[in-house]
Amino acid sequence: MSVSLKLKDLSEKEVLLSSGHRMCAGCGAAIVVKMVLLAIDKPVVVCSPTGCLEVTTCISDYTSWKTPWIHSAFENAAATMSGVETMYRALKKKGRIDKEITFVVFAGDGGTYDIGFQSLSGAMERGHDMLYVCYDNNAYMNTGIQRSSATPFGAATTTTPAGSAIPGKMQHRKNIAMIMAAHDIPYVAQAAPSHYKDLMRKIQKAAAVKGPKFLNILSPCNRGWRSRIDDAITLSRLAVETCTWPLFEIENGETTITYKPKKKKPVEDFLKPQGRFAHFNKPENEWLLKKIQQKVDREWDNLIRAESAKGFYN
Amino acid sequence: MSKVLMKGNEAIAEAAVRAGCLNYFAYPITPQSEIGEYLAHRLPEAGGMFLQAESEIAVVYMLYGAAGCGARAFTSSSSPGISLMSEGISYLAGAQLPVVFVNIMRGGPGLGGILPSQADYFQAVKGAGHGDCRMLVLAPASVQEAADMTAEAFELADKYRNPVMVLGDGLIGQMMEPVSFKENKEIAMENKNAWATTGMAVRGGNTPNLVKSLHLDPAALNEHNLNLKAKYERMAREDTRWEIYNAEGDYQVLIVSFGTMSRVCRTAVEMLKAKGIETALLRPITLFPFPEEHIAAAADQACCKAVLSVEMNMGQMVEDVKRSVGRHKPVRWYGKCGGEVPTPEEVAGEVEKLIADTDIA
């Protein structure tokens, strides 16, 4: 039986990430993790690679996790979870365990798109039964806001500072969801905390499927995005409403857009409240906004075409 | 040039640019990310290349590629990041490519902590990578030295066609001190080295260059390794560096310490002197080659009754100190390995304990 997504019912359910963790005030990732855990009704085993979430939930000898949790290095959460899940299958085969367990990886974009990419790809290809959740905050926030391959075009980070040489990062982000879909795994989705029902329904769907599942969830970071501390959900909503962060799922290769804004807002609405895009206001940088809008439009169109073609990429 | 107040990490970055190294490849890791952040804006300004890779494994092979073309290239990282690069360090040593590594050490094992440590002594000195490979290792004790040694590391890497490591710790990286820089050095981007893969036309004809570390013929691999060995021995002859402090008097204890820790020990030597206890401090400046003859000579003095190796790890260099001193004088280790830096008082206390235990007085 799946968890009721009524707010009243959810408020009565125990959250497996206890309060008192050291995530920053207003952190989007902490909200995402809680939503994901709330949506799962089976026992959960969690693995996190090095990152904000890991560092802030195992300070000193304490743990914020009310469920088994394992940390490995930065580059291999999916490999570590492959080991855990393989041992679980071995025990199950021998009849020494009969519990149904959901194996969840929570990794940031650095540990997913970049250094953890090889082990993620390997785990997806081998078909381990795990739900890999990327909390995508668009940069290496834990080490001080360095660019990652999830950092959007034009964003200023400490290693892509906007100045006279370059106006922020000069590459678009990787389309990680499509790369994962190309692994031909049963379930891939993109979600955002502003649309919590959509997010939790996706988690429930993923958790019900055997095999590798991948979810990319937007996690606004006020430190790195240079935004207001209480803007995480607002920015998440704007990312969705501008189609910068489309909400979709790919089930066995078939795309469904799970939320279509009635009227697509201009990308500017999402970028404006964020200091990392402040240099967009300079007259000589007008082209940046145009370029982002073009990219967003193209990807949104691709997605609509993929949906009607019952495929995942067009 | 006048002095400026700078953070160690930034001074290292600036020193590299002034040493003519315009090619930097790296991946962020605490406590040295400021090196990359500084270079992200400084290198484009200086006409250089800043590249942030997707992992340390990518970094080390980008360095391999850049150095193979004969360019001056360097990276900086901290302990776990260096571990990921260690395969590549071995390949660099095997292919004899000059690359500079800066390791701003943090505590381990595993993810450990982010506070200062000297726990990568073994890794840097003995286990840079698989196979018979070595790095020349410089250990700065101040921000000024970190800057100077970074600049010098490029010269040494070129001299030996070998990876060179500047081994600092979190304190060197994060501390601010006055620093002055040498004049800018103009190093051409294009390579003048005869061995680099720059295209045959550059060398006027038909001498293809090969950058590789594979030698399937056992006799050829043996010869290759003997050549490397001869190079490492030349490093020992020509570039072993150390300094000794307060060795004029009749010191009862010889303290051996490197990097940040040696500065604390220097204060301890002064404190003990005020109490009427004479000690000397020998500080290895290169950790490979190790100043074993000089430690042996200092320990062999009749006045010296015991040796204390002080390190921010659980006792690594002490093995080399023991090897240098031999069995005729007691050698003891003192240190901390969690990120705390032992205080001068603690070091002085250890020396007094050593004196009492060995019943010298």
* CATH 3.40.50.970, chain B: domain bounds: 4-199+225-238
What is the architecture of the domain spanning B243-356?
3-Layer(aba) Sandwich (3.40)
Check CB contact of A74 with chain B, cutoff 8 Å: yes
Computed on alpha carbons and rounded to an integer, the radius of gyration of chain B in Å comes to 21
How far apart are the CA of A241 and the nearest CA of chain B, in angstroms? 30
User: How much is the average pLDDT of A279-302?
Assistant: 96
CA distances (Å), origin A266, targets A227, A294, B74, B203: 19, 11, 43, 57
Lowest mean pLDDT among A287-291, B41-45, B186-190: B186-190
Are B37 and A146 a contacting pair at CB < 8 A? yes
CA A280 to CA A284: how far, in whole Å?
8
Q: Which two tokens stand for residue B69?
A: 């073309």
Tens digit of pLDDT for each residue in B66-97? 999 888 999 999 999 999 999 999 999 999 99
CA B147 to CA B178: how far, in whole Å?
11
Residue B187: the pLDDT is 64
Picking from A117, A143, A163, the nearest residue to B33 by CB comes out as A143
Tens digit of pLDDT for each residue in A39-51? 999 999 999 999 9
Strands A187-191 and A247-251, by their bridges, are antiparallel
| pLDDT beyond 90 at A20 | no
Compute the mean pLDDT over every residue in chain A, rounded to the nearest whole number. Answer: 96
Tens digit of pLDDT for each residue in B193-247? 778 888 777 677 767 788 899 999 999 999 999 999 999 999 999 999 999 999 9
Mention every residue, 6+ apart, whose C-beta is less than 8 A from residue A261: A240, A241, A242, A243
CA distances (Å), origin B71, targets B25, B66, B97, B162, B202: 12, 6, 10, 13, 15
Beta-carbon pairs below 8 A across chains A and B: 53
Residue B358: the pLDDT is 87
Residue A58: the pLDDT is 92
DSSP secondary structure string, A108-161?
ESIIIIITTHHHHHHHHHHT-S-EEEEEE-SEETTTTSEE-TTSPTT--BTTB-
**Regarding predicted confidence, which is higher, B191 or B12?**
B12
| pLDDT beyond 60 at B191 | no
CA B225 to CA B229: how far, in whole Å?
6
Picking from A73, A144, A158, the nearest residue to B80 by CB comes out as A73
Check CB contact of B37 with chain A, cutoff 8 Å: yes
Check CB contact of B183 with chain A, cutoff 8 Å: no
Residue B1: the pLDDT is 66
Residue A12: the pLDDT is 93
Strand partners, A183: none
Would you give the DSSP letter of residue A52? H
State whether residue A227 is helix, strand or coil.
coil
User: How much is the average pLDDT of A236-251?
Assistant: 98
Q: Are A142 and A50 in contact (CB under 8 A)?
A: yes
Locate tokens 């370029």: which residue? A291
Amino acid at A267: V
Q: Which two tokens stand for residue A161?
A: 């500072």
Would you give the DSSP letter of residue A26? T
Separation of CA A306 from chain center: 21
Mention every residue, 6+ apart, whose C-beta is less than 8 A from residue B149: B138, B140, B166
Left if phi > 0, otherwise alpha if psi is -120 to 50, otherwise beta: which for A122?
Answer: alpha
CA B240 to CA A298: how far, in whole Å?
61
Residue A151: the pLDDT is 98
- Please, how many CA atoms are within 13 Å of residue B251, restricted to the half-sphere of its CB? 25
| DSSP H or E run through A199 | helix A196-208
Compute the mean pLDDT over every residue in chain B, rounded to the nearest whole number. Answer: 94
Tens digit of pLDDT for each residue in B31-68? 999 999 999 999 998 989 999 999 999 999 999 999 99
For B46, name the nearest residue in chain A, comparing CA atoms only: A165
For B59, name the nearest residue in chain A, comparing CA atoms only: A115
Residue B196: the pLDDT is 86
CA A308 to CA A205: how far, in whole Å?
21
Q: Is the pTM of this model over 0.90?
A: yes
| pLDDT beyond 80 at A13 | yes
Tens digit of pLDDT for each residue in B137-170? 999 999 999 999 999 999 999 999 999 999 999 9
Left if phi > 0, otherwise alpha if psi is -120 to 50, otherwise beta: which for B42?
Answer: alpha
CA B246 to CA B242: how far, in whole Å?
14
Tens digit of pLDDT for each residue in B325-359? 999 999 999 999 999 999 999 999 999 999 999 87
Are A163 and B36 a contacting pair at CB < 8 A? no
User: How much is the average pLDDT of A225-251?
Assistant: 98
The band of A61, judged by pLDDT with boundaries at 50, 70 and 90, is confident
CA A139 to CA B212: how far, in whole Å?
35
Residue B264: the pLDDT is 98
Picking from A142, A159, A165, the nearest residue to B36 by CB comes out as A159
CA B30 to CA B192: how far, in whole Å?
36
| DSSP H or E run through B150 | helix B143-160
Chain B residues whose beta carbon lies within 8 Å of the beta carbon of residue A159: 28, 36-37, 40, 50, 52
Separation of CA A235 from chain center: 15
Residue B257: the pLDDT is 98
| CB within 8 Å of chain B, chain A residues 79-98 | none
Q: Residue A249: name the closest of A215, A287, A296 by CA.
A: A215
User: How much is the average pLDDT of A283-301?
Assistant: 96
Q: Are B54 and B79 in contact (CB under 8 A)?
A: no
ipTM: 0.88
State whether residue B335 is helix, strand or coil.
strand
| pLDDT beyond 60 at B360 | no
Per cent of chain A over pLDDT 90 is 94
* CATH 3.40.50.920, chain B: domain bounds: 243-356
Amino acid at A281: N
User: How much is the average pLDDT of B20-26?
Assistant: 92
Lowest mean pLDDT among A115-119, B75-79, B128-132, B179-183: B179-183
**Count of CB atoms within 10 A of residue A257's CB?**
16
User: How much is the average pLDDT of A270-283?
Assistant: 97
Task: Give the domain B4-199+225-238 fold.
Answer: Rossmann fold (3.40.50)
Q: Residue A52: name the closest of A19, A70, A75, A28 by CA.
A: A28
Residue B200: the pLDDT is 76
The band of B184, judged by pLDDT with boundaries at 50, 70 and 90, is confident
Are A140 and B54 a contacting pair at CB < 8 A? no
Q: Are A250 and A310 in contact (CB under 8 A)?
A: no
